[in-house]
Chains A and B, each alone.
Chain A
Amino acid sequence: MYSMGEIPGDPERFVETAGREAFLIKKTVFLFAILFCLLLCPFGRAEEKYSKNYFGAFDTVVQLIGYTDGQETFDRAADALMARLLEYHEAFDGYHSYPEVHNVWYLNRYAGQGPVEVPDCLFDLLSWCKEVSAQVPSKVNIAMGSVLSLWHEERERGLEDPSSAKLPDRAALEEAARHTDFDDVILDPENRTVFFADPELKLDLGAVAKGWAADQAQKDLMETMPSFLVSLGGNVYAGDAPADGRKHWGVSIQNPEGTVLSALQTDYLDVLYVDHMSVVTSGDYQRFYTVDGENYCHIIDPDTLMPAQNMRAVTVLCESSGLADYLSTALFLLPIDEGTALVESLPGVEALFCAMDGTVTMTEGMAAVARSHGATSGD
């Protein structure tokens, strides 16, 4: 830009008052024109809907839907999300080892011999578990790995060869159950180490890992792509409202009679219209195997050491996905009436129960966002 005095040719002209005034007015007009153009810019580029499914993390499918200004922004957010989830997956995996990762598998093997330094995410998750189990006492016990692994082994074997499927040995289950005290898991915040005071104890983070991971992922996505919906194998978190004019995302609740990957699912149990909320379901249809015509699900009651049989499924709605995940398992382990009472005692938590006979009941706050009670995406 030239300053006025530097305009070549005729400097005197601009010293003249009238000339200067005209120049200023012109300047103003141009300024407004430019501002006007800038104001219009955002309208030219509407946010569009993108979605992608990933495999691998937590042995399930991760679905990400988001509204953003282009494929590139979406891919960047999605790739960062997946990188984080894969890191968690390795750290929380109790059944596989990974090079140089002191994960749950490693702890289950070596933490009985002495303190083991663990990745930050694993330490943070275990600390969170200590807190939540103190605040909301329940039957959920992440130190029940030795019992759960017996069920896990039989289930895997039974799924591979259904004709030889059998239940775990009762005596082995009872022996394993003697080594499930979460208080024996000693956390040292200073050195970020974990020590098992009971060397036979094993961790299994299945009831909390996905939810806790969703909470962390959610924070990233709020920065990179705020209008999003993410599902870690059914562990759903909804961010800002969808940027297409709707006020809420529609999150369907699967009917336990269908299977996750079945064809048409015209009869959802219900649809919840939510934003800034997590929705997590625990059901007997998610992971199970069959012995002598009877289905045995993956959620084990620590009292009976057998699969819980209180309901087909329960869905929890609350702001924290970790809490929703934890509570959905906790409620699955309780009779429906006791579960309902527990939920009603917790502020900001809602639940929907599907009883053994298929009857659906829900708390008031859940009904307020449920399609079956007249809610829509625009309310």
Chain B
Amino acid sequence: MFKRRDILLGLGILLAAGLVFLLTRIPILNRKPKNLVRIYVNGQLYAEEALGKERDVTVSQPGGAENVVHLTENGFYMARSTCMNQLCVYQGDVTEENYAARFLGTHVLCLPNRVDVELVLEANAADPDAPDI
């Protein structure tokens, strides 16, 4: 009663489903570009940069506010800021190794200039008991 083609089609569907399932579970294929830095200004995404080679990203805003984010191989720090308190510069560097020990975790914040810089890590790099906030 089953034609060969019916069975083939059925198997084909199962195979396709299984394949999709497996593909979504293989970490290498789903891996986002390793460790990003996202820069937000006033809550809006300003830039997204992949880590890799050392460079500066300048965040210029109308009105003259300017922050310079220095990207390193495995993290970043605020190199310069026009803000009055310079707290963002004092917040030091953020890396995959030190973020768990930082009060602001993966972020460096410049409140006066409303700049928020975040190190976006691969999810499973996290220490499960490190505080989220």
Contact = CB atoms under 8 A, between A and B. Distances in A.
23 contacts: A21-B1, A33-B17, A34-B13, A37-B13, A37-B17, A37-B20, A40-B17, A44-B21, A53-B107, A53-B109, A56-B114, A61-B111, A229-B132, A236-B133, A250-B131, A250-B132, A250-B133, A260-B103, A261-B90, A262-B87, A262-B91, A268-B103, A271-B129
A29 B12 CA distance: 12
A49 B123 contact: yes
A190 B40 CA distance: 44
Contacts of A49: 123
Contacts of B20: 37, 40, 44
Interface string A323-353: 0000000000000000000000000000000
B25 to A, nearest CB: 7
A44 B101 CA distance: 33
B116 to A, nearest CB: 4
Interface residues of A, number: 56
A266 interface: yes
Contacts of A263: 90-92, 102
Interface stretch (A95-103, A175-183, A312-320, A370-378): A370-378
A34 B9 CA distance: 12
Contacts of B126: 244
Contacts of B107: 51, 53
Interface string B32-50: 0000000010110000000
B111 A252 contact: no
Contacts of B101: 264-266
Contacts of B91: 261-263
A220 interface: no
Query: Which residue, of B20, B43, B102, has the highest number of chain A Cβ atoms within 10 A?
Result: B43
Contact of B103 (A37, A40, A250, A265): A265
Given A264-B102, A378-B128, A44 B24 contact: yes
Contacts of A249: 132-133
Nearest to B92: A263
Given A43-B24, A263-B90, A18 B1 contact: yes
Interface string B70-88: 0000000000000000011
